[in-house]
Amino acid sequence: MLLRPAWLALVILAAAGPASTQTSVPDDLSVMLRDSWSAFRAGDRDRATSRLETVATRARAEGQTRIEGEARRHLASAYSYREQYAQAIDELQRARTLYATAGDRSLEARCVMELAAIYRRKGTPVEGIALARSAVAAFKELHDAQGLVDAAEVLVYLLPNSEDHTTIRTEALSVVDART
């Protein structure tokens, strides 16, 4: 019983401490990952890319597969933004392998979907169609409604305008309708 008040006092004391005692350790990879991606979205792309590369390298050295995979996915976005498609594809393939090794099929499928989107931006949609179809199938199998809708959107944008998109759109809408 005496431990409970002591624990509560420690929690209150920590909460009342200065903000500097409550910040995360700057070397914490998850914090570095979050901060670098925030910097990228805020427009400081060069600094963010450099930090993401650091996070990926350190996460690999420390065996933090999930953080390395996420850093590589963000790096792929950064490289794609710069139209460095070969590097973006390489980073996504590395992230996909990491997720596959970890058994995370949902994030693996998300990497496949993002690869398809890069082929679209690159101007070679035919290369991305099979990947997008594969992502749709994986999300369907995983019962991942949001993933299925995201992959269906990528697939529709990859398909030629002459092809009928009704089946894909109907399937995606049925998932949305079932959730609302």
Summarised one tens digit per residue, pLDDT across range 119-153 is: 999 999 999 999 999 999 999 999 999 999 999 99
Res 169: pLDDT: 78
Global pTM reads 0.78
SS3 content of the chain, % helix, strand, coil (to 5): 80, 0, 20
Fold designation for 105-180: 1.25.40
Of the candidates 63, 62, 70, 61, the residue with the CA atom closest to the CA atom of residue 36: 70
Query: Averaged over 12-19, what is the pLDDT?
Result: 39
Q: Give the tens place of pLDDT for each residue, 57-97.
A: 999 999 999 999 999 999 999 999 999 999 999 999 999 99
Parse the chain into domains and list their residue ranges.
27-103, 105-180
More confident residue, 3 or 177: 177
More confident residue, 26 or 117: 117
Fold agreement (27-103, 105-180): yes
Could you confirm whether domain 27-103 is CATH 1.25.40.10?
A: yes
Res 161: pLDDT: 78
118 touches 96 (CB < 8 A): no
